[in-house]
Structure 1
Amino acid sequence: MKTLEKVNYKGFILPLIIGIALWCCTPLRPAGLSVQAWEMFAVFVATIIGCITKPLPIGGTTLLGLIVTVLAGLAPIKDEVNPKTGAVTSGILSAFSNSASWLIAMAFIMAYGISKTGLGNRIAYWMIRRFGKRSIGIGYAITVLELILGALIPSNSARTGGVVWPVTESISKDYDSLPNDSSRKKIGAYLSFTAFHANILSTALFITGAAPNMVASQMASQKGYTMTWIGWFTAAIVPVLIATAVIPIVIYKIFPPEVKETPNAKKWADDRLQKMGAITKPEKIMSIVFLLAIILWVLSGIFDIPQLDSTFIAFLAVGLLLLTGVLTMKDALNQTGAWNILIWLSILVFMASKLISFGFIDWFSKTIQSGLHGISWGIVLAILIVLMFYTHYFFASGTAHMTALYLPFLSVAVATGTPLALAAMLLAFTGAINASTTHYANGPASILATTGYIKQGEWWKYNFILGIIYLVIFGGIGSLWMKMIGMW
């Protein structure tokens, strides 16, 4: 007998209470805000809270928010042109023309080829074979593996869950380091914790490293700053490389493995490479297509050529994978993560754009600016970065956090005199490194903090230490690096 699908109806309670309460406060709204601006704010806040409480998956929750937006008369279905002024009011269907959403959706489909062909595992085994003589060497191998995969797989959860964690778990168990057991500290706890922080670094290095990066990109464009693949990479490369050198050794010191030497790791990797056999034709094609995509993404940030649009490059790569038979159309349609992100990212960006067009963001930044009058922009930016980092303790989703705070914080920073590029990039980086907070900070945290290798108290304690290191590296060294290369 067919049954209804499970819906978390309790998850609707908090967003409904807060959304309705804000809506009812419309007559009491601050001076300078229109009715539409306040009502859009109420719908937006309720939607973001729904993304946290998750009555439905994020795609379903944001879709309901979009429906309420239309029913409330805050947006039409299709674009409407005012016959008197010629002004265009964006309809909800225009939300799904968002280029960043399509870019990351296509990148998800491209990334499926990594697991389908086995290329991801082959890269992992190569890294372990090269650096796996000592436990700290394996830690660095996992970190470098994540950085490579960050360019290939746009989902931080997919990188961890699909490639890095299975490899980490296999190595740990080969050394009789078992979860939920005193043996976890032999090597499993160290490798698991290192794998998590490697994921943070791979997320920070590439604009396509995770969905919150693309949210930041779209929000920054609302303020007139364009983030390109090569621009993000150039700004991130120095702080990420420094953190790549520092973080594994810090973890090795504060959370050391009992097993220091790992001579069997090379044999372990060799055995698995032998089972895989010679590199296959699909793997070769997959490698070529990804390298081509990365080269074109780099060129798109250098040359102003319409055909080098980053989203079109992603479409081109998927087309080549389909044309060569590496992927099938069924493979593409089965990538539910791609189509899910296309829905929710498009909707959230559309709703944020409505907050701008109704004047809410401009009012917010001017209000905060007046309260910060006389304070230097450097201090304001530092405060905003610290707030962006530590408020993540209250969020279980990097996407929800970035959508809620990035644009208001960026507006405040710019209004107080902070260079636009500096503020845009530092706040975006903070959206990646603030995963170093809780065991529910993002998808990879949820995966690795529940494996049984790391206790919750250890997770919070050591992440707090590493979080300070990230703030120093990205906020301090990152700012100096961007100054040296002329970004601000």
Structure 2
Amino acid sequence: MDKLLKFSPVIVALAMALIPTPQGLQPDAWYFLCIFVGVVIGLIVEPVPAALVGLLGVAVIAILGLVDPSAKASRSWALSGFSNGVIWLIFAAFMFALGYQKTGLGRRISLILIRYLGKNTLGLGYAIAFSDAIISPFMPSNTARSAGTIYPIASNIPPMFDSYSDKNPRKIGSYLTWVAFSATCVTSSMFLTALAPNLLAVDLINQSTGITIQWGQWAKAMIPVMLPLFLLSPWLAYIVYPPTQKHSPEAPAWAKAELEKMGKVSKKELMMLGYAIMALVFWIFGKEFGVDSTVAAIFVLSLMILTNIISWEDVITNKGAWNVLVWFATLVAMASGLKKTGVLKWIGDLVSVYLQGMPPLTVAIMLVLLFFVLHYFFASTTAHTTALMPLFLAIAIPLVPAEMMPRLALMLAASLGVMGIITPYATGPAPIWYGSGFISQARWWALGAIFGSIYLAAMIVATIIYI
């Protein structure tokens, strides 16, 4: 069974290729789609590292000349993702996350919030949630943010109250686990740079429709939607899944002791804070200054290296950042191939037949709803984005007026963060928090359904308002 699963991407791709080419598609386009489906399955089951799945898919397509029969043109297509500005912005943002970790700034922020908000369990939940929110604009990996920064701190708290995964989990551990996880899902949708697939989605939108979504545009639209959800989530968890421990005086005392161990705020922490603010200013107002957001990120990254916030050795040995760069660069190329070969237009024409005649707003709501619910079948937000974003845009283009498309595209992209709440495998931090053992699988699915319904309702309301 394991071997069958390992070779399932190849088996599915070959099985599809044996089917006669559907009417309306050229053979090369059909074979491209076969390999693309194989790549998506590979991203889900991961028989080999995800980056290698994408790299191999691009290489096979280029060798077969499925996008362009010219060897030179095939090479240019295969490498096109590596010249993509969004990919390098993601890479630079991973280095910002490393700066937070190396300087201790992320840890200090979390401990300060716990010290001043953690006197009772509800306040402790808000402290953990705000810790995530403050650093989320600068960490495009919610795994690094939630599982790498927040989890090591939050995991120290339940044992203070004799709450463990196998002993008194409901006392405080279960509540803090769910609050931390739900918070990172919401903040991942609040800011463009809070989730790497957000940036990937924005680039795919630009490729498919020519629509450009800036950092400020995203924030202006999504903060009014996500902020109420963010403030509601810890309280809602307190009501729906209440902790039996209502007060937590030990937590502020522990945070105070940890802060004393860290000592005074260091020069490097202050510099890192300054660099983070500088990057944020460029991302928000860069267009006014004539500065591209990727160029600004690389400039700030260079300053971080020159001032020893991180070292050049840190940059070249950061396997996670380079892995994501290769992974996303190949996926961007794959997605552009769907358009070049005519696959997207073909699928869009097939599906749009069933939606014709519906009001544009109804079409938009149905697309947002389906885009969210289909995430139950994906164990990777990146795979979901790669497989479905170009497809849903292709369906929308002939059915939704051009003036509505930018807002619909934003709604689809912005739902990527909050949809991570629905299952124990839906987003990067989910397996970490679920793996802590404080919440059973059945309870996790139930909470995911409750919170997922609320988050989806918020996205539908936002779609109605904005479109």
TM over 0.5: yes
Match of 2:458?
473
Contact 1:79 1:91 in 2 (8 A): no
Structure 2 residue aligned with 1:391: 374
Match of 1:459?
A: 444
Q: CA deviation at 1:272?
A: 0.8
Residue 202 of structure 2 aligns with an amino acid whose one-letter code is S
Task: Kindly state the Cα deviation for residue 382 of structure 1 after the two structures are TM-superposed.
Answer: 1.9
- Cross-structure match for 1:31: 23
1:60 lines up with 2:43 in the alignment? no
Q: Return the alpha-carbon distance in structure 2 between the equivalents of residues 321 and 354 of structure 1.
A: 36
Match of 2:408? 423
In the alignment, is residue 444 of structure 1 matched against residue 444 of structure 2?
no
- Residues 207-226 of structure 1: CA deviation (Å, up to 9, x unaligned): 12122112211111021111
For each residue in 1:233-267, what CA deviation from the matched residue of structure 2 results, as whole angstroms up to 9, or x when unmatched? 11110111110121111111110000111222221
Distance, in Å, in 2 between the alignment partners of 1:138 and 1:387 is 35
Pick from 212, 230, 241: which aligns with 1:226?
212
Q: Aligned pair in 2 of structure 1 residues 32, 316: CA closer, same or farther (>3 Å)?
A: same
Aligned to 2:103: 117
Task: State the distance in 1 between where 2:69 and 2:281 align.
Answer: 38
State the number of aligned residues.
Answer: 463
> Which residue among 221, 224, 227 is the counterpart of 1:235?
221
Alpha-carbon shift at residue 90 of structure 1 (Å)? 4.0
Aligned to 1:309: 292
Of 274-283 and 15-24, the range deviating more from structure 2: 15-24
Q: Closer, same or farther in 2 for the Cα pair 1:192/1:408, shift >3 Å?
A: same
Of the three residues 343, 367, 376, the one matched with 2:350 is 367
Q: Secondary structure at the match of 1:320?
A: helix
1: CA distance between counterparts of 2:360 and 2:320? 39
Give the Cα–Cα distance (whole angstroms) in 1 for the partners of residues 449 and 267 of structure 2.
45
Amino acid across the alignment from 1:469: I
1:414/1:423 contact within 8 Å kept: no
- 1:11 is displaced (CA, Å) by 4.2
Post-superposition Cα deviations, 1:284-340, rounded to whole Å, max 9, x if no partner, equal 111111110001111124x261xx111111101110001111111001112111111
2:332 is equivalent to residue 349 of structure 1? yes
Write the mapping of 1:101-116 to structure 2, written as runs, cut at 5 A. Answer: 101-116=87-102
Measure, in 1, the Cα distance between the counterparts of 2:416 and 2:85.
21
In the alignment, structure 1 residue 46 sits paired with structure 2 residue 38: yes
1:69-468 equivalent positions in 2, closer than 5 A: 69-75=61-67, 80=72, 90-181=76-167, 183-222=168-207, 223-301=209-287, 303=288, 305=290, 308-417=291-400, 419-468=404-453
CA distance in structure 1 between the partners assigned to 2:114 and 2:52 by the alignment: 40
SS of structure 1 residue aligned to 2:421: coil
Code of the residue aligned with 2:414 in structure 1: it is: F
Return 5+ residue gaps in structure 1 as ranges. 1-7, 82-87
8 Å CA contact retained: 1:300, 1:309: yes
Structure 1 SS opposite 2:157: helix
Report the Cα distance in structure 2 between the residues aligned to 1:215 and 1:397, rounded to whole angstroms.
Answer: 13
Asked if 2 retains the 8 angstrom alpha-carbon contact of 1:414 and 1:420, the reply is: yes
**How far 1:10 sits from its partner (Å)?**
4.6
* Residue 19 (str. 1) matches residue 5 (str. 2): no
Gaps of 5+ in 2: none
Secondary structure of the 2:456 match is: helix
Corresponding residue SS for 1:208 = helix
Give the whole-Å Cα distance in 2 for the aligned partners of 1:123 and 1:77: 54
Between 1:16-25 and 1:363-372, the stretch displaced more is 363-372
Work out the percentage of aligned pairs sharing the same amino acid: 35
Q: Is the 8 A contact 2:364 2:463 kept in 1?
A: no
SS in 2 for 1:442: coil
Give the aligned residue type for 2:365: A
RMSD: 1.8
**DSSP-derived class of the 1:342 partner:** helix
Partners in 2 of 1:265 and 1:78 — Cα distance?
Answer: 64
Q: Which has the higher helix share?
A: 2
Contact 1:235/1:478 (<8 A) preserved: no
- Contact 1:11/1:54 (8 A) holds in 2: no
Q: CA deviation at 1:350?
A: 0.6
Distance 1:335 1:203 in 2: 22
**1:52 positional shift:** 0.8
Q: Distance in 1 between matches of 2:382 and 2:289?
A: 30
Cα distance between partner residues in 2 of 1:320 and 1:128:
31
